[in-house]
Amino acid sequence: MQVPAAFEYERASSVEHALGLLAQLGPGARLLAGGHSLLPMMKLRLASPAYVIDIDPLVSELGYVREHGDEVRIGAMTRHRELLESPLLREKLAIFTDAERVIADPVVRNRGTIGGALCQADPSEDLSAVCAAVGASIVIRGLDSERVVPIEAFGRGPYRTAVGDAEMVTEIRVPLRAGSGSAYEKLDRRAGDWAVAAAGVSVTLTDGLIERAGIALAAVGAGTRSAEAEAALAGRPPSQEAFEQAAAAAADGARPVSDQRGSARYKRHLAGVLVLRALNRAAERATR
| Residues in the chain, overall count | 288
Which residues constitute the domain of residue 15?
Answer: 8-57
Q: Is the pLDDT of residue 221 over 90?
A: no
50 and 73 part of one domain? no
Let me know if residue 166 belongs to a domain: yes
DSSP 56: G
Q: Is the pLDDT of residue 190 over 80?
A: no
Distance CA 233, CA 46 (A): 41
Let me know if residue 126 belongs to a domain: yes
Q: Per the structure, how many domains does the chain have?
A: 3
Q: In this predicted model, what pLDDT tens digit does every residue of 68-120 receive, in sequence order?
A: 999 999 999 999 999 999 999 999 999 999 999 999 888 889 999 999 999 99
Half-sphere exposure of 265 (CA within 13 A, CB side): 0
67 and 122 part of one domain? yes
- Give the containing element (helix H, strand E) for 269: helix 264-286
Distance CA 100, CA 224 (A): 19
What is the domain-level CATH number for residue 37?
A: 3.30.43.10
How far, CA to CA in Å, does 198 sit from each of 11, 20, 56, 243, 271? 36, 38, 29, 16, 7
- Name the pTM for this structure: 0.95
Q: Is the pLDDT of residue 140 over 90?
A: yes
Quote the percentage of the chain above a pLDDT of 90: 88
CB of 15 closer than 8 Å to CB of 62: yes
State how beta strands 51-54 and 8-11 pair: parallel
- Sign of the Cα pseudo-torsion (156, 161, 162, 166, in order): negative
The whole-number pLDDT of residue 255 equals 92
Please give, one letter per residue, the 3-state secondary structure of 218-243.
ECCCCCCECHHHHHCCCCCCCCHHHH
Distance CA 223, CA 239 (A): 25
Let me know if residue 2 belongs to a domain: no
Q: Pick the residue with more confidence: 154 or 105? A: 154
Q: In this predicted model, what pLDDT tens digit does every residue of 11-46 receive, in sequence order?
A: 999 999 999 999 999 999 999 999 988 999 999 999
The whole-number pLDDT of residue 70 equals 97
